Amino acid sequence: MSSDMAKADNKEAFQLSESKPTGAASIHIGNLAKTFDTAEGTEEVFSDINIDIEPGTFVCLLGKSGSGKSTMLNIVSDVLEPTEGRVRFEYPSDEEDVTLGHVFQDPRLLPWNTCVGNIEYVHENNPDYTNELARRSLDLVGLSDHYDKYPTQLSGGQRQRVGIARALSTDPGVLLMDEPFSNLDEITAENLRDELLDIWSQLNKTVFFITHDMTEAIQLCDRILMLGQGRIYADLENPLDRPRRLDSDAFLKFRQKAVDKFHSIEE
C-alpha cells in the first residue's frame, strides 16, 4: 500500500461530513435498453438489462471497447436518457435521495481552481459545506500537502486522487467510476487501486466500476458483470478473499476462468 495514503484506525476517522454519513445505496436497473439513431437506421447498444446491486458492494462492469459500458454508466448517472427501462437507487433504511459520486477516466478538474476549489465547486447545494470538508477529503486520498495546489502542479495520479476526493466529498450513496486508472502508468494505477480498496473498506460505499481490464476487475470487485453483444452475458461472484495477491494460484485460476468466460461471447 502506498505510504502517502492517509491512514485511519476506524470508520469515524473517515467520516468526511459533520452531518450523519448516508452510507451505501443499492442500485436497481430494470429492463434497460438504449438505441441510437444513425444514418443507417436505429442501432441498438443493449437491451433488456436487469441488474440488482446490494448496498456496499464493489461491482465491475467489464466489456470490450464499444460494448456500451460508458453508455450504460451515462444512463446510470442520469447524463443519458434510456430508450426503455429505469435505474433506481435506494438507501436500505430511509427515503432520502441518493447522491451519486462520479470519478471519470480523466479527472476533469477546473485548471484555474486549487484542489480545495475543485471540491468546493461541486458543493453548490450543500449548506454544510466548509473548506474543512474539502481538506478532509484530500487527506483521505493522501493529498494533505496539496490543498492549495493547482491541477497543473500535480502528477496524473495526484489529479486522479483529487477526482476521487471530489466524488467522496459529496458523501455519495453510490460511487460511479469510469475506467479511472486507465490513463495512468501501471505503478501509479496499482497504488491507486490499493488506496481505493482501502478507502472502500473504510467507507463501505457501493461502487459501480467500469473497466476493460480483467486483472483490475478481479483485484477490486466482489462481482463482475460482463457486457457484450447488447446484453449482460456473464455475472460472476468473486470468490477470492481480500487482500488479493495478483500472483497467487487462486487469483490466477479465477482469472483464467473469467477470461474464458469473457471470450465465450465470441464463440
Partner 1 sequence: MSIKSSQNRIIGTIPEFLYTDTRVIFIESITAVLVVWALVARGLDMTGTIASPLIIAESTYALLMSSDWVIHFTATIRRVIYGFILTTIIGTTVGIVMGMSDFCEYALQDYITIGLAMPSLFAAIFAAMWFGISDITPMVAGTVIAFPFLAQNVYEGVHNIDNRLLMMSSSFDVSRKRVIRRVVFQGVLPQWFAGARYSFAICWKITTLAELVAASNGIGYMIELHLNALSLSGVLTWTALFTITILIVEYGILQQIEKRVFDWRQESGMNMMGAA
Torsion angles phi and psi, residue 91, rounded to 5: -85, 145
Q: 28 or 149: whose CB is closer to partner 1?
A: 149
d(CA 163, CA 140): 12
Q: CB–CB of 143/165 below 8 Å? A: yes
Residue entry with cell 434510456:
82
In angstroms, give the least distance from the CB of 156 to partner 1: 14
The interface with partner 1 within residues 101-160 (CB under 8 A) comprises: 102, 104, 106, 108, 110-114, 121-122, 124-125, 149-150, 152-153
SS3 content of the chain, % helix, strand, coil (to 5): 35, 25, 40
Partners of 228 in the beta sheet? 231
d(CA 73, CA 149): 30
SS3 for 57-81 is CEEEEEECCCCCHHHHHHHHCCCCC
In angstroms, give the least distance from the CB of 159 to partner 1: 12
253 binding partner 1? (CB under 8 A): no
The interface with partner 1 within residues 166-205 (CB under 8 A) comprises: 170
36 binding partner 1? (CB under 8 A): no
Q: 5 or 98: whose CB is closer to partner 1?
A: 98
Q: 3 or 152: whose CB is closer to partner 1?
A: 152
77 binding partner 1? (CB under 8 A): yes
According to DSSP H, which parts of 96-223 are helical?
Answer: 115-121, 131-140, 156-169, 186-203, 214-220
The interface with partner 1 within residues 80-109 (CB under 8 A) comprises: 100, 102, 104, 106, 108
69 binding partner 1? (CB under 8 A): no
79 binding partner 1? (CB under 8 A): yes
Which residues here bind partner 1, judged by CB under 8 A?
A: 77, 79, 100, 102, 104, 106, 108, 110-114, 121-122, 124-125, 149-150, 152-153, 170
